Amino acid sequence: MNYCENLRKYVGHNPILTAGTILVVFNEKNEILMQLRSDYKQWGFPGGGLELGETLENTAKRELEEETGLILDSLKLIDLVSGEETYREYPNGDKLYDITAIYEITAYHGNLKINDDESLDFKWFSLDNEPTNMPDFMRNYWKRIEKYYKS
């Protein structure tokens, strides 16, 4: 059982504060990897929540491998986001605000594959081709990433 699942036993669906990562994985065509998430049935970035005692860098490495089968070679922090724009409510009713480290990943190896029950599909998108089917909090991240790379 992970940290958030354990905490939910005490707070139910009430909002909690978490920390985690969003992974902006680029391919050789400069396209960004998105996952069709099984919980929302919408597109999102790979990534996930920090576990107790874990660094954000280790979270990025673990989540990339767990969700995509890809092995991280290096990463670069491009933004740190907190506040209202990170609020989300999951389909099961869980609510949270997140402190999110956004990492750029251009160096990795392995074979892209659905590796767990969090993903239904993967697709590569160019910065000029934003997925239309994204939850608001993911769209907020996309806008930040787009601004970072287009400025």
Q: Mean pLDDT, to the nearest integer, of 42-59? A: 96
Q: Mapped to the 3 state alphabet, what secondary structure does 76-109 carry? A: EEEEEECCHHHCEECCCCCEEEEEEEEEEEEEEE
pLDDT band for position 116 (50/70/90)? confident
Exposure string of 41-54, with b = 16+ CB inside 10 Å and e = fewer, is: ebbbbbbbbbeeee
Pairing mode, if any, of strands 16-25 and 95-109? parallel
Residue 31's pLDDT is 97
Q: Mean pLDDT, to the nearest integer, of 39-52? A: 95
Measured CA to CA, the distance from residue 48 to residue 58 in angstroms comes to: 11
Looking up residue 18, the CATH number of its domain turns out to be 3.90.79.10
Q: Would you say 133 and 43 are in contact if contact means Cβ atoms under 8 Å apart? A: yes
Domain containing 60 equals 3-150
Q: Mean pLDDT, to the nearest integer, of 70-80? A: 97
pLDDT in tens, 118-142: 899 999 999 999 999 999 999 999 9
Beta bridge partners of 99: 19
User: Which residue blocks in the chain are alpha helix, DSSP H?
Assistant: 3-11, 56-68, 136-150
Q: Mean pLDDT, to the nearest integer, of 23-42? A: 96
pLDDT band for position 1 (50/70/90)? low
Question: Which tokens sit at 93?
Answer: 């009713």
Q: Mean pLDDT, to the nearest integer, of 75-88? A: 96
> Mean pLDDT across the chain, nearest whole number?
95
What's the Cα-to-Cα distance from 54 to each of 11, 37, 58, 63, 87, rounded to whole Å? 22, 24, 6, 12, 22
pLDDT band for position 11 (50/70/90)? very high
- How many helices, marked H, and strands, marked E, lie in the chain? 3, 8
Q: What is the pTM of this model?
A: 0.94
Q: Which of 48, 39, 59 is nearest to 120 (CA)?
A: 39
Q: Domain count for the chain, please give it.
A: 1
Is pLDDT of 113 > 80?
yes
